[in-house]
Amino acid sequence: MNRSTCPWNGLRIGGLALSLLGPLGTGPLMAQTDDFNDGNDTGWSHYEPLNAFGAGGSYQVSGGLYRLSAPGSPAPELMGPQRIGSLRPEKTYTRARVQAEITGWRTDINQAFGLIGRAANLGLGTTEGYTYNYNSVSGYHQLNLVQNEQATRQVNESPFPLNPAHRYRMVFQLAGSILMGQLYSTTNASIPLHTVAGMDENFSQGLSGVFAFALTADHALDTRFDNYAADVPSPLRATVRDASPAVGESPTEPIASVTVRLADLETSVNPGSVRLEVDGKTADFELAEAPMGYRVVHTPSKPLDPKTGHKARIAFEDETGLQTFEWIFGAPEPPAPATVLLASDTLAGPAAPVTDARLDPATRTFRLPLSGTARFFRLTDTQTRRWVRTQIQADQLVLTYE
């Protein structure tokens, strides 16, 4: 089934896909990082093959987000659809782990965006490498082999639609012939929401970065990235590919089963070591072989209530030792909403005076000036929001929500 065929070159870039406690957190320190809080993209090299034809890209840093945008291709029948990217030229990777957060992309244009690895020969009709990308219309995540600026081989793809109002983290790992793209909620660094994986041996090294590609010939591009990082990963341990119900998922129907997919990478799962707990109790499960690993399925004697929060935990061993992963699903009791942001220099008495807090829905941040001796803040809001980060930028306090 062809979900995203580009009439220029048959390119099908369809969709997108850290464990601080698991395998993604065990490698060396990041070689390259950028949280874009400095307001610029110094150190990045722009990839805009249509710039010479008056259709270059725009690379803006605002509110701690890196926005890549571009007009539609001026002559898609000759030059193909619009495509742009931004890469870090100072480091060529053989083994690579590339990461970035995505949020706030346009949903009214048919575009693919995500991460690129082992990129080389950058230019009009010459670019090569691998991409891990998300299609904003079809909801497909893909791994693609790119040769001469064309996706000549789709390594793997699968659907997992995303919400542009949320914030996600994409992690792309390239080790030898292994390619794996994983998508995480920024609120859980342990269990991926979705994984695509496969193997290809065409390219062994190159640059890393972010990119966007129009999937409709005359469409423009507009997407945002944050918290980019790239490094050389340790040996890729066997890991969790994804789980169902997923991290933070609130099913509308009774939950008849809990499923976890495990992936063998450069180490392998010991099937006899697998243990599963649901709501603090040991859970029976069926273990079956699956592509690149195993499938673990627990069927409770009575379906789980979707209106209650549930916690699951899976543990298993590979050649290097024990690993554990935890996640929560269901619908726990939400916090109570309210309406103003207040600041105070003490915890005693009323929190006053009222500060000039500004809500920016585009970047999902509250910003307020830091002044005087105010050190304690109380946030109330008309909506229930999940806070993911608090930062001080120059003379402002910045609160970021998902």
| Span of 151-160, 231-240, 329-338 with lowest mean pLDDT | 329-338
Q: What are phi and psi of 191, to 5 degrees?
A: -105, 120
* pLDDT of 187: 86
Q: Which of 18-27, 91-100, 372-381 ranks highest by mean pLDDT?
A: 91-100
Q: Between residues 204 and 400, which one has the greater pLDDT?
A: 204
> What would the mean pLDDT of 253-270 be, rounded to a whole number?
96
User: Quick one: average pLDDT of 366-378?
Assistant: 63
Phi/psi at 78 (nearest 5 deg)? Answer: -105, -40
Domain 23-231 fold is Jelly Rolls (2.60.120)
Average pLDDT value over all residues in the chain: 85
Give me 255's structure tokens. Answer: 């939950």
Q: How confident is the model at residue 379 (pLDDT cuts 50, 70, 90)?
A: low
Distance CA 371, CA 387 (A): 23
CA 16 to CA 187: how far, in whole Å? 19
**Residue range(s) of every CATH 2.60.40.1220 domain in the chain:** 239-329
pLDDT digits 0-9 by tens, 297-344: 999 999 999 999 999 999 999 999 999 999 999 986 554 444 444 444
pTM of the entire predicted model: 0.76
Domain(s) of CATH 2.60.120.560: residues in the chain = 23-231
Q: How confident is the model at residue 375 (pLDDT cuts 50, 70, 90)?
A: low
Q: Which fold has domain 239-329?
A: Immunoglobulin-like (2.60.40)
Provide the pLDDT for residue 383.
67
The pLDDT score that the predictor gives to residue 189 is 85
3-state secondary structure of 341: strand
The conformation of residue 256, written as its DSSP 8-state character, comes to -
CB atoms within 10 A of CB 57: 22
Contact 141, 17 (CB under 8 A): yes
